[in-house]
Amino acid sequence: MGQYHNEFRLERDQVFVAEMVRRGFDAEDFRAVIDSLNGRSLLIPQLEIAGQTGRYIESILETIHRYENLPDVNHRIEPKIKAEIVWSHLAEVIRTLPRNRGPDFSEAMLELAVADHETELALNYLYDRIVYQRVENPLKRDLGDKLAAMKAPPGSEDKRDFIVKWIRSRPR
């Protein structure tokens, strides 16, 4: 099987995760799937496709807070061989969160950014969610104030400032 071994495993896991989402599962099963090798990249998108992300908000938030304490936070592992870049567990989850519809994880992303945990990805989420979301959220004004007070890492100040200006420019 050689180089196709991982592709086979990914396709198998896609079918498995889709079937689990169709049948429904509890918090323990959610944790087992999201902690699996391909689970971080497959589970949340599959929940979004099935329109079930809202049912698992608490499990997703629990996963974010659990991964926040892992030692791989803020690390991109670039392999020396020609392979995909490996992201931290937390980064992989952030990258799969719904950006323009479904549950809003802006508060959790703000907490991550303030704690300097995957700040760049958290700001990317906030940018995508806040700038492109069509539904006004009354908490965004408060979010803008919190974001403005946050110390952004070098290179992220412009994105943070843009998000803050956009939030403040919106009518109340």
Structure confidence by residue, pLDDT tens digits, 25-63: 898 999 999 998 788 888 999 999 898 898 999 999 999
What does the pLDDT read at residue 70? 84
104 and 28, same domain (yes or no):
no
Question: Cα-flanking dihedrals φ and ψ of residue 71, to 5°?
Answer: -70, -10
DSSP 148: H
Q: Of 53, 75, 97, which residue sits at a domain end?
A: 97
Distance from first CA to last CA of the chain, Å, rounded?
Answer: 58
* pLDDT per residue as tens digits for the range 122-146: 998 988 888 776 555 555 777 888 8
Contacts of 74 (CB under 8 A, 6+ apart): 88, 116, 117, 118, 119
Residue 46's nearest CA partner among 9, 21, 10 is 21
Same domain, 121 and 142: yes
Domain of 150, in residue numbers: 99-172
> Looking at the structure, do residues 68 and 18 belong to the same domain, yes or no?
yes
For residues 116 and 140, state if they share a domain.
Answer: yes
| 55 and 107 part of one domain | no
The helix/strand/coil state of 97 is coil
Domain end residue (candidates: 73, 97, 121): 97
43's CB contacts (< 8 A; 6+ apart) are 17, 21, 30, 33, 34, 96
State the total domains in the chain: 2
Confidence class of residue 151 from pLDDT cuts 50, 70 and 90? confident
Q: What is the pTM of this model?
A: 0.79
Note whether 148 and 86 are same-domain residues: no
What length is written for the chain?
Answer: 172
42 contacts 16 by C-beta, under 8 angstroms: no
